[in-house]
Amino acid sequence: ITSIDTFLSVGHFHSPSFPLALLLQEDEGGLLLRDKYGDVFTVHLGPRPVVMLYGTEAIREALVDQAEAFSGRGTIAVVKPIFKDYGVVFANGERWKALRRFSLATMRDFGMGKRSVEERIQEEAQCLVEELRKSQGAPLDPKFLFQCITANIICSIVFGERFDYKDRQFLRLLDLFYRSFSLISSFSSQVFELFSGFLKYFPGTHKQIHRNLKEILDYIDHSVEKHRKVSPEKSNPHTEFHHQNLIISVLSLFFAGTETSSTTLRYGFLLMLKYPHVAEKVQKEIDQVIGSHRLPTLDDRTKMPYTDAVIHEIQRFSDLIPIGVPHKVTKDTLFRGYLLPKNTEVYPILSSALHDPQYFEQPDTFNPDHFLDANGALKKNEAFMPFSIGKRICLGEGIARHELFLFFTTLLQNFSLSSPVDPKDIDLSPKESGIGRVPQEYQICFLSR
């Protein structure tokens, strides 16, 4: 893998252009390349040289120890015409700093004088319980309902209302969003990353993605107009708090807070079917701490170390976004003896941390003990970074953590689980989807306790 230019020499052999997804074809996270070239090396995505970071140490050194230098956002060509450089996820420089400060303050203060995120998740969890009771223990695919509940939380926060699971407008929004996400993470979109300068002039997956996202933005735009208030910032032509940044930030929040949460829940309950003794142990802890006559709350989490460890291990094992969202360095940066010129793109390979054998005794095995100490208390692990780390950590991290705990405990409080398939025959291998990993389709029975 070759040097980027005369200033950057990371690795030593010339790499052909290939999609990012191919880095995941060789064992966990491209171990063959890593074994040969080390934890830091360069590949070419079409004409673009990008630096790949493997392993917990290299990722933390970059994104935490040199957080400011690595805080830029790289390019995802297939969505750039829609997001451009707006919104908190894709903005850079002073625009990003202003939007990040505002977003963090808003998320932190949300619920003061209004209904809190916790209350909204609790309400949605009860709606889900009612819906599942209608199945009367018959086998069902949980995918649609898990998509509904996570999307509804974002809708509740952003639009001030939740939707019925049969609402036509809501179903259209869901369909557009999940089809877009699937197309963005598809192999064809990874090919587009290589040759976007040429392929953008022709029909293809990217055109469908743009149509879908424009329709979602139109809906967000209409909803924002309904709630618009006159702002003193309007008279300031240099402010970043304008309409385009607002609607793109809302779209970014949908991406940050829906797909990964719903897919984590799908993987989580598949794992509970595969390992019923784990589900039973979680239910025992639920019965001891919460009982059956009140709703789970976020305060319960600190009293439920085993359940918390199980949720951590579900996130680690499912490894939904093996290749993190691209960063770029904001200035000429010296890193591990190499000089990375300003605007060099950097990909943290999160999978290589989540499966790091130096931090997890059995990295390829589902084992909640990875997050428990000798006394059964939850223990921190530096390699646990499913939301990434540093200044570009996922905007939806807080909401996602709340959702996973409250949805997971509410369902196991109310239902026992059963599978039409023998646990030993349950396939945990992911259904590859470009750069994302999703579980195989499966059926589950929710039996009232």
Distance CA 338, CA 8 (A): 6
Burial class of residue 106 in the structure, from the number of CB atoms within 10 Å of its CB (0-12 exposed, 13-18 middle, 19+ buried): exposed
- What is the CA angle 195-1-325, rounded to 5? 55
Q: Give all strands of the β-sheet with 40-45 in edge-to-edge order.
A: 40-45, 48-53, 345-348, 327-328, 72-73
Binding site annotation covers 394? yes
Distance CA 386, CA 216 (A): 26
Alpha helices in 258-334 (DSSP H): 259-274, 276-289, 305-318
Tokens 């209302």 correspond to 161
Distance CA 85, CA 370 (A): 39
Q: In this structure, what token pair is assigned to residue 85?
A: 């450089």
Helix (H) or strand (E) segment spanning residue 448: strand 445-448
- What is the CA angle 287-289-295, rounded to 5? 80
Helix (H) or strand (E) segment spanning residue 415: strand 415-418
In sequence order, what DSSP letters do the residues of 100-113 get, joined into one string? HHHHHHHHHHTTTT
In this structure, what DSSP letter does residue 230 have?
Answer: -
Contact 74, 328 (CB under 8 A): yes
Taking residue 337's Cβ as centre, other Cβ atoms within 10 Å add up to 8
* Pairing, β 72-73 against β 327-328: antiparallel
In this structure, what DSSP letter does residue 234 have?
Answer: G
Burial class of residue 71 in the structure, from the number of CB atoms within 10 Å of its CB (0-12 exposed, 13-18 middle, 19+ buried): buried
- The conformational region for residue 439 under phi > 0 = left, psi -120 to 50 = alpha, else beta, is beta
φ/ψ (deg, to 5) at 72: -70, 160
Contact 147, 407 (CB under 8 A): no
Taking residue 86's Cβ as centre, other Cβ atoms within 10 Å add up to 22
Q: What is the dihedral of CA 154, 156, 158, 160, to 10 degrees?
A: 180
* Pairing, β 40-45 against β 48-53: antiparallel
Task: Could you list the residues known to form a binding site, using ranges.
Answer: 394
Task: Could you list the residues known to form a binding site for heme, using ranges.
Answer: 394
